Amino acid sequence: MQDLGSRFLYQNFSKEYLVLVLIALFFILATLGALKTPLFGLLVFLFLILSVLLVIIYRQQKISLSVSQNLYTGLLSAHKIAQSFAVSTDTGETLLTVLFCVKDLFPTSKRVMLFWIKKESGKKMISGLDAVGMKLSEIRSFIFPLDKTLGVIPWVAITNNPFETLDAKNDYFCDQDFVVKAELSAFIAVPVVVAQQSLGVLLVETTGNALHSTEEVKILAFFASQIGTALENVRLYNEVELLSITDGLTGLYNHRHFQKVLEYELIRSSRYKRPLSLLMLDIDFFKDYNDIFGHPAGDTVLITIARIIQTSIRSTDFSARYGGEEFCVILTETKKGDALVKAEEIRRKVEECQFLDEKKQPTKNLTVSIGVSDFPDDVITKEALIKKADDALYFSKKTGRNRVTPA
C-alpha cells in the first residue's frame, strides 16, 4: 500500500513538473509569437489553456486515488476488526483493536480518543472511555454533562454531526478547559451512532495542516459506527453470560459457576502455595419463616443476607448462592484463623440486622450457622473441601445454631 502511494506521488510529481515546464515554454513562445503574428500567439495561448486543464485533471486523479487508497485501507481495517470481534468478547480488547485501526487509517493522527454516554446519579453524562496515545486514567478524567452548549464533545453526541478544527485554542466553540487539559490543537470528532441512537464520540487528533475531505469524514464515521456496534454486541454478550452464571434473586454467583471458580482457585492456590478457605452458611429456621410470612418476605431475607455477605468480603473473594437458603464464600489467600474471623463478622451482622417479624422465629431472631474449612491444612481436593465445610455447618446447626464451626 505504501509502495503504491509512493509510486503514484512520484509519477504525478514528474508529470506535473513536465507540464509546468511546458507551460513556461508556451508562455515564452506566446509572448514572442504575439510580437510577430497574432495567429501564432493565439495558437500558443490555446496550448497554454490545455496545459492548465491537464494539470487540473492530474490533480483530480491524485485526489481520487488518494480517496481510493483510504477506502482500501479502511476495508482492510474493517476486515481486521471483524476478525477480532469473532474471537473476542472482551470490551477492552475490542476497543483497542478498533482504535488502533483508526490510528492506522489516519497515520498522521497523534491520539485517538473515545467518549461514551452513561448515566451518573440519574443524569446523562459523556465521559472518556478509552484512548490510543494517552493513559487510561487521563482519558477517563474527562467528564461532560450531556448539554450541547457545554463544548464540542457533548455537541457532537447530541447533534450527531461531525466537527473539525485546525486551531482548538482559538476556536470559541471548543471547551477551552478540555482543550488545555488534553493539550489539543487540531482534531476531528464524529458521533458514534447505532440504529439512529447516539452512543458516544470518536475524536482523532490531527496535524492541523488541512481539513479532512468529505470522504475521509465518512470513513471515520463508518469506524465510529463499528465501534458502537461492537460495544453493543459485547455488552449484550456479557449480559447473557452474566445471567448464566448468577443467581437471579440475589445477584451472587450460582452453584454451577461456584464449582468452576472453586476448582480454578484451588489450582491457583496449589501452584503458588497459597492458602484458601471456604465458608458454608445456612439460614436458621428459614423454612418456618418462609411458611409463616410467605415467599416474598423470604426472598427479601435472602437478598438482604446476600448483600451482607457481599459487602463483608474483598473484591478478590467470591460469594455464591449454593442452593435454597445456603450460601458459600471462597476466601482467597486466607488461612483458617482469618476465615473464622470473617465468618464471625458475617454471623454477627446478620444477627444484628432487623428483619420483618423475626421475633416470631423460634430463636426470636433471624440468624445463620456457618462451617469453615481450608486448603491445604484440612484437605487438598475440591469435593473434600466442600464436604468438610458442610460437615462443620451441620455441627453448628446441631449444637444450637447461630454459630461458626471450624472443620
Q: Known catalytic residues?
A: 325
Other Cβ atoms closer than 10 A to 274: 15
From 201, 198, 11, 41, select the one nearest 112 (Cα to Cα). Answer: 201
Nearest-Å Rg of the Cα atoms of the chain is: 34
198 is written with which cell numbers? 447516539
191 is written with which cell numbers? 458521533
Judged by DSSP in three states, 392 sits in helix
The DSSP H or E segment spanning 372 is strand 368-375
63-99 burial string, b = 16+ CB within 10 Å, else e?
Answer: eeebbeebeebbeebbeebeebbeeeeebeebbebbb
Maximum distance among all alpha carbons in the chain?
126
Q: How far is CA 215 from CA 59, 60, 218, 222, 258, in A?
A: 16, 14, 5, 11, 52
Report the C-alpha dihedral over residues 266, 270, 275, 278, rounded to 10 degrees: 20
